[in-house]
Chain A
Amino acid sequence: MVRAILGRALSSLLVVAGSSLLVFVIMYLLPGDPVDSLIDPSSATPEQIASLRHQLGVDRPLYVQLADYFGKLLQGDFGKSLLNSEPVLPKIVEHFPATLALAAASALLSVVAGVLLAVLSAVHRNRWIDVVARIVGLLGISMPTFWSGILLLLIFSVHLGWLPAMGSDGWRTLVLPAATLGLIGAGFIVRMVRNSMLEVVNEHFIVTLRSKGLSERSVMYRHALRNALIPAVTMIGMLVGEMLAGAVVIETVFSRQGIGRIVADAILAKDLPVVQGVIVFSAIVYVLVNLLVDISYSYIDPRVRRAA
């Protein structure tokens, strides 16, 4: 077991390294030169441009840059922003908690709401509850987030005055953004768990359970749901990725701090070290979460535990 986890961790490390490599290469290949953003090309002399390129180190061959970047990365040095020479890592560390809080709250919300809706929907298949639950679920994945976010904001903040419209201090400011993002997650979960419930309900052992005289409640909640949730657990990893991505938009809408906004801005400014840093960082988070999911999966599902 420990060995299996170690193995996973090792391959995860490779994936992280790979993703940073990939980003490096993509950003390298994309048109545009970070120097453009720093210097006025129409007035600068070629020497000035060359010297700036040299100072930034972008004049070296790709492999040298790569080696340099990874060498520093291994020492925990994420480099400095090209634009304001702020060190990248502290910047990420400063902004990550807000994004994490958002992602975690939305994931929690989507799991709770999603599972609830899915169960209602599956248990009352083809009844009106099913219809409502499915539509709610589908709406979650059918609405552009910035729109649903603004709608929620107008309703709950401006109109009803229940919750703050923006900011990233305190749980109250978390509610609306998390609800907006959670709606998406809930949509995915409803679909997944409902399908998986319907599949489980067709399994033979459900007939056995009924033939034992168990109440429908036990059959559905103690047995069917638990089985149906197992595949849904794998979704949590995916969900966290989804939430991190959603943060890019949501953080802007609700004026929250977070790495989503930082990376969006950095991409637009071709601030490579910042983009790199955030992506490597989020890749690490993604991989960690998935590793955790895999490990917990084997605890939840006895079949997997045996195979491991």
Chain B
Amino acid sequence: MRRRNSYSGAATLLLAVALVLSACAGGGNNGSGGNNNGASGGEAEASSAAPSAGQASAETPVQGGELTYALATSPDTLDPGRSGLAVASRVYRTIFDNLVVKDENNEIKPWLATEWTVSDDGLSYTFKLRQDVKFQDDTPFNAEAVKFTFDRILDPSTAAGNSAAALSPYTSSEIIDDYTIKLNLASPSRAFLVNLTQSTLAIVSPTAAKKYGDQFGKNPVGTGPFRFVKWEENAEIAVERNPDYHWGPETVSNQGPAYLDKITFKIVPEEATRIGSVQSKQVLAAETVPPQNIVALKSDPNFQLLQADTGGLPYTLFINQNKEPWNELKARQALQYGVDVGTIVKTLYLGTYQQAWSALTPGIFGYDASLENSVQPDAAKAGQLLDELGWTVGADGIREKDGKKLTLHYVDGSPNREKRNDIAVIVQQQLKKIGIQVDVEITKDVLTKVFKNDDYDIYGNSQVNVDPNALYQFYHTAAPGALGNLAHVSDPQLDQWLEQGAVEKDEAKRAEIYKNVQQFIKDNVVILPIYVFPYTVAASNSVKGLAFDSVGYPQFGGVYIQK
């Protein structure tokens, strides 16, 4: 019943649904790869260039114990192939392993694969696999399992989510021998190997996946350091140590079996409750600490605050060029001058979030640091630009032209994730000063409002990703039915750059291309970049060894609890 042809857009929809239905996790979501828009509860995953802000420990790890870890939202499913939510990744990363892993320096390192080669035409990758690995259900790990995992994502009946986008342009696998496999691509891709580090492309147990079918997400089996115990909806997910584990990648501190006996993920959406449960020591750690609490917790000697920057596309406001007068550059420029992003970020995030200046986040390959501080708010200039367009200030302070008021329809999703609704509130006030009336609409139904009806002047979105190729989906002229291009920007030059960037082998050239793209986006005010999101964890001081991988996801294998 749920089959999707168009991989590029549908995931968006599903993510929205998944969030809305955060209580009903499980195997129901269909969809395929793609981007993450603001309606969803967590960041879509991809790899990240940002190094983890892990915690090195000189002490001897303590064996045993249970870590309780409060999550901000409920995972939708624990099936890597189907999940769309970052929060799900944080949980199932404990259960599953990938073929390869990326280290702090963006280098790809072995994990379940020991070595690999790329064909000259870039159309096939051959992996040698570890031979000492077995799944938690005692299914042996081999080339068959890898083939099964990737083919399963292609199978429409799996209703794959982001994994399909990450896997693209994979077409098929050839089993060379039990522990050698060749993956074939439809076209060369600079991003494919990196993408194999993504948690969505983790290797699943063929036995279990066949057995549970669409309920695999509730009964996940992988090769990871922990194995699944139970999932009580809306309450908790428990995993326990996989005693056989000894194939951890070199990027983690503990390649052997985890120190912890057990991890219990508690699902605590209410901020105050989540932070409160750490403060009251009901849980040992909690994720996604609100800025105001970060400030307070940092000074509390009883707790530690861990932070890992995520990379990809920062939270940006897309200006819909299908709408008048925002199709005119001057009008968009007026917005650029009118919105004081610095104040917004300072006000709302109290110095805990970085202001974003570009369409990419700083850690990402090709990031153009020269754009930083290139835009300064200037209300007078904004006013002047609008005057030039014929929008004159009316009696009530709102600009008018031909009897029409200058209004801006600002749509944002609910709930107020990362204080995005509050951004709208401030923007409303800032733009009022230059004579624009901002109508803020907060809706649960972003899907219909934004994607179906195209009923917005401004809509904000972000995506956690690793490769600048992520820009393609958002800024390349949209293919019919594709949904990423929220600004509806369409420029031949831009399109060309984005196409080149996807395949360019020369690093320097590639970086240059993406700098051009960023410059273009800034100059044409396609978007207003706002902030870069840091993943934060508040934990008791007794929690040691919690590190984050290159994407900013926590790694639990090395965690122990000091008595």
Contacts and interface: CB of A to CB of B under 8 A. Distances in A.
Interface in A16-56: 32, 36-43, 52, 55-56
B277 A84 contact: no
A164 B21 contact: no
Interface string A264-277: 11101101001000
- The listed residue with most B CB atoms (<10 A of its CB), out of A150, A161, A167, A255, is A255
Interface stretch (B129-137, B232-240, B428-436, B502-510): B232-240
A254 interface: yes
Interface string B238-272: 00000000000000000000000000001111101
A40 B24 contact: no
B543 to A, nearest CB: 18
B234 A274 contact: no
Contact of A150 (B1, B70, B272, B279): B272
Interface in A159-204: 161, 164-169
A157 B280 contact: yes
A83 interface: yes
B33 interface: no
Interface in A39-76: 39-43, 52, 55-56
Interface stretch (B6-14, B349-357, B368-376): B6-14
Interface string B3-31: 01010011011001100111111111110
Interface in B145-163: none
Interface residues of B, number: 52
Contacts of B447: 36-37
B451 interface: yes
Contacts of B482: 43
Contact of A42 (B9, B16, B267, B281): B9
A94 interface: yes
B234 A153 contact: no
Given A40-B481, A158-B276, A257-B232, A265 B22 contact: yes
A157 B29 CA distance: 37
A104 interface: no
Contacts of A266: 21, 23-24
B292 interface: no
A205 B169 CA distance: 89
Interface in A220-265: 251-258, 261-262, 264-265
A39 B13 contact: yes
A14 interface: no
A43 B234 contact: no
Contacts of B67: none
A8 interface: no
B28 A81 contact: yes
A301 interface: no
Nearest to A54: B1
A252 B452 contact: no
Contact of B24 (A161, A168, A265): A265
Contacts of A41: 448, 452
Interface in B383-406: none
A157 B233 contact: no
B473 to A, nearest CB: 14
B313 interface: no
Contact of B235 (A37, A86, A164, A167): A167
A37 B16 CA distance: 8
Contacts of B211: none
Given A257-B233, A266-B24, A167 B266 contact: yes
Contacts of B451: 40, 42
Interface in A71-123: 81, 83-86, 91, 94-95
A166 B279 CA distance: 12
A40 B483 contact: yes
A275 to B, nearest CB: 12
Nearest to A33: B448
B28 A166 contact: no
B282 A168 contact: no
Contacts of B210: none
Nearest to A151: B272
Given A43-B10, A165-B273, A165-B277, A269 B268 contact: no
A277 to B, nearest CB: 12
A37 B22 contact: no
Interface size class of A (residues with CB under 8 A): 35 or more
B481 A150 contact: no
Contacts of A161: 280-281
A86 B28 contact: yes
Contacts of B20: 37, 265, 268-269
A268 to B, nearest CB: 5
Contact of B9 (A43, A167, A168, A269): A43
Nearest to B277: A165
A267 to B, nearest CB: 10
Nearest to A251: B234
Contact of A255 (B269, B279, B448): B269
B24 A166 contact: no
A154 interface: yes
Interface string B152-191: 0000000000000000000000000000000000000000
Given A42-B483, A166-B266, A261 B234 contact: yes
B23 A262 contact: yes
Contacts of B16: 37
Nearest to B479: A43
B553 to A, nearest CB: 22
Given A85-B28, A86-B28, A165 B282 contact: yes
Contacts of A94: 233
B419 interface: no
Contact of A271 (B21, B281, B445): B21
A164 B28 contact: no
A254 B266 CA distance: 11
B444 interface: yes
Contacts of A268: 20-21, 444
Contact of B273 (A32, A43, A84, A166): A166
A254 B273 contact: yes
Nearest to A45: B5
A157 B269 contact: no
B346 interface: no
- The listed residue with most B CB atoms (<10 A of its CB), out of A251, A261, A262, A269, is A269
Nearest to B1: A55
A183 B391 CA distance: 55
A153 B24 contact: no
B2 interface: yes
Contacts of B25: 84
A119 B81 CA distance: 61
A266 to B, nearest CB: 7
A35 B323 CA distance: 28
Given A38-B2, A41-B452, A84-B27, 8 more contacts: A40-B451, A83-B21, A86-B28, A161-B280, A165-B282, A167-B236, A262-B233, A265-B24
21 contacts: A37-B20, A40-B483, A55-B1, A81-B24, A84-B21, A85-B214, A86-B26, A94-B233, A153-B273, A158-B280, A166-B270, A255-B234, A255-B268, A261-B234, A262-B23, A264-B23, A265-B24, A268-B444, A269-B17, A269-B20, A274-B24
Interface of B: 1-2, 4, 6, 9-10, 12-13, 16-17, 20-30, 70, 214, 232-236, 266-270, 272-274, 276-277, 279-282, 444-445, 447-448, 451-452, 480-483
Query: 9 shortest A-B CB distances, which residue pairs?
Result: A84-B28, A43-B481, A265-B23, A165-B277, A255-B268, A165-B276, A157-B280, A158-B276, A257-B235
